[in-house]
């Protein structure tokens, strides 16, 4: 990790990821517990995401909430969808990319930015760069779908195809950024990107003042890390549930181990949450602190959740959104009398996935 990135990493962990109450519990013979609450640090944590919300709110859609009583286990459960699939690019990724780009210095903006993504992140960077009038290069692998490549180019980004897999493209993008001095925008390993994704939580609490639980799909951890950092300050009673496909549990296993692991993966319909993690990722420690419950779901459960939404409402949600819904449905009986939100993180469904639905 470069010195500046290391310093930002340390700052973010100190400020953003302390739980709302850092509890030092001392059990005395009378059974008394004392709790020391670091409220100032939590205020700063929330403020980082609030600042991002102020910065990007004119550039992204405040996505609506949809009541989903058909999927609730009983009438006592209020189930809501946060419809991030309605963003311009069809995914929440626009938020983090926009916050990062709007946080650049004038010189960095003039130089342009580089990203690597075969999917939603590339679309987000391309759209945010076009809106702000800066140049963007998006590196993709040979496996990028023609429709995604076309959408990225339509948003004004220069497309560079490298290698046969996303890792080849990312390594090439990072090398190009280092050589040129341009800013590389990571899809998750960046505190500004994470804060931008966290703005979903700001909107959630505006739209749902009392929220008991929120279910969020997890890949690299930028979405749940940003949302969780804000919620642990602004709404500490809200349970943050991390949801993973059983076939791609990299961050789940890394949290359990306390370090980034190279976990063998199987193909998953949740394409946007699949993949490895960088060894210096800021998300590991963040997510370790903000995730209250973790749920793994099978490919069959993901497909069933996606089909139910399609059959009930006619909506096509992507696999990662299906992961979050499947996790709720798996444990729905635990949420009687609760208000629960599921993040519908995207609606970009590939032809391959459509064929399985």
| pLDDT per position as a tens digit, 158-172 | 999 998 878 788 889
Same domain, 210 and 322: yes
Structural domain contains residue 38? no
Structural domain contains residue 45? no
Q: Average of pLDDT values for 34-40?
A: 38
| pLDDT per position as a tens digit, 114-160 | 999 988 999 999 999 999 999 999 999 887 878 888 999 999 999 99
Same domain, 171 and 318: no
Same domain, 175 and 289: no
Residue 32 has pLDDT above 60, yes or no: no
DSSP string for 240-283: EEEEEETT--HHHHHHHHTS---------S-GGG-S---TT-TH
Q: CA dist 215 to 87, 96, 196, Å?
A: 19, 19, 18
Average pLDDT, the chain: 88
Q: Average of pLDDT values for 209-226?
A: 96
- More confident of the two residues 45 and 211: 211
Same domain, 156 and 213: no
pLDDT score, position 45: 62
Same domain, 173 and 213: no
Full residue range of the structural domain in which residue 98 is found: 93-184
Same domain, 143 and 244: no
Same domain, 195 and 110: no
Cβ within 8 Å of residue 55, ≥6 positions away: 98, 99, 102, 103
Boundary of a domain, candidates 184, 206, 232: 184
Task: Give percent of the chain above pLDDT 90.
Answer: 72
Residue 66 has pLDDT above 70, yes or no: yes
Structural domain contains residue 27? no
Same domain, 278 and 333: yes
Boundary of a domain, candidates 161, 184, 207: 184
Residue 39 has pLDDT above 60, yes or no: no
Which is it for the CA torsion 329, 334, 338, 341, positive or negative?
Answer: negative
Q: Average of pLDDT values for 349-353?
A: 84
Q: How confident is the model at residue 42 (pLDDT cuts 50, 70, 90)?
A: low
* Contact of 274 with 187, CB cutoff 8 Å: no
Residue 19 has pLDDT above 80, yes or no: no
Instruction: Give, as one character, the DSSP assignment of residue 82.
Output: E
The number of folded domains in the chain is: 2
How buried is residue 77: exposed, middle or buried, by Cβ count under 10 Å (0-12/13-18/19+)? Answer: buried
Structural domain contains residue 15? no
| pLDDT per position as a tens digit, 172-192 | 999 999 999 999 999 999 999
Q: Average of pLDDT values for 230-259?
A: 96
Same domain, 174 and 133: yes
Same domain, 223 and 301: yes
Residue 43 has pLDDT above 90, yes or no: no
Same domain, 256 and 151: no
Angle between helices 93-102 and 191-207 (to 10 degrees): 120
Same domain, 200 and 147: no
Of 46-50, 66-70, 288-292, 324-328, least confident by mean pLDDT is 46-50
Structural domain contains residue 10? no
Q: Average of pLDDT values for 267-286?
A: 89
Boundary of a domain, candidates 127, 151, 184: 184
pLDDT score, position 148: 84
pLDDT score, position 95: 98
Residue 157 maps to which CATH number?
3.40.50.1100
Residue 8 has pLDDT above 80, yes or no: no
Structural domain contains residue 340? yes
Structural domain contains residue 227? yes
Structural domain contains residue 330? yes
Instruction: Give, as one character, the DSSP assignment of residue 84.
Output: G
């Amino acid at each position: 990790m470069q010195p500046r990135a290391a310093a930002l990493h340390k700052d973010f962990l100190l400020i953003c990821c302390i739980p709302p109450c850092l509890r030092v519990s001392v059990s005395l013979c009378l059974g008394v517990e004392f709790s020391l609450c670091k409220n100032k640090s939590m205020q700063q944590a929330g403020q980082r995401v609030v600042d991002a919300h102020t910065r990007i709110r004119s550039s992204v859609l405040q996505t609506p909430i949809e009541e989903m009583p058909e999927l609730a286990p009983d009438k006592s459960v209020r189930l809501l969808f946060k419809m991030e699939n309605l963003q311009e690019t069809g995914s929440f990724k626009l938020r983090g990319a926009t916050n990062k780009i709007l946080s650049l210095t004038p010189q960095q903006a003039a130089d342009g930015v580089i990203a690597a993504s075969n999917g939603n992140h590339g679309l987000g960077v391309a759209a945010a760069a076009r809106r702000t009038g800066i140049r963007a290069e998006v590196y993709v692998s040979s496996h990028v779908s023609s429709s995604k490549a076309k959408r990225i180019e339509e948003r004004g980004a220069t497309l560079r195809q490298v290698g046969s897999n996303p890792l080849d493209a990312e390594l090439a993008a990072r090398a190009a950024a280092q050589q040129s001095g341009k800013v590389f925008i990571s899809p998750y390993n960046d505190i500004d990107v994470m804060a931008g994704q966290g703005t979903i939580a700001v909107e959630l609490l505006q739209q749902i003042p009392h929220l008991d639980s929120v279910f969020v799909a997890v890949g690299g951890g930028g979405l749940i890390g940003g949302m969780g950092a804000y919620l642990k300050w602004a709404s500490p009673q809200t349970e943050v549930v991390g949801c993973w496909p059983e076939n791609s549990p990299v961050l789940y296993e890394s949290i359990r181990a306390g370090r980034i692991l190279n976990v063998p993966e199987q193909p998953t319909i949740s394409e946007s949450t699949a993949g490895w993690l960088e060894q210096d990722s800021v998300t590991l420690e963040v997510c370790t602190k903000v995730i209250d419950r973790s749920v793994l779901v099978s490919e069959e459960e993901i497909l069933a959740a996606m089909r139910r939404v399609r059959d009930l409402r006619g909506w096509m949600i992507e696999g990662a959104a299906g992961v979050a819904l499947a996790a709720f449905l798996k444990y729905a009986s635990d949420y009687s009398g609760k208000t629960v939100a599921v993040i519908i993180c995207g609606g970009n469904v590939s032809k391959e996935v459509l064929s399985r639905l």
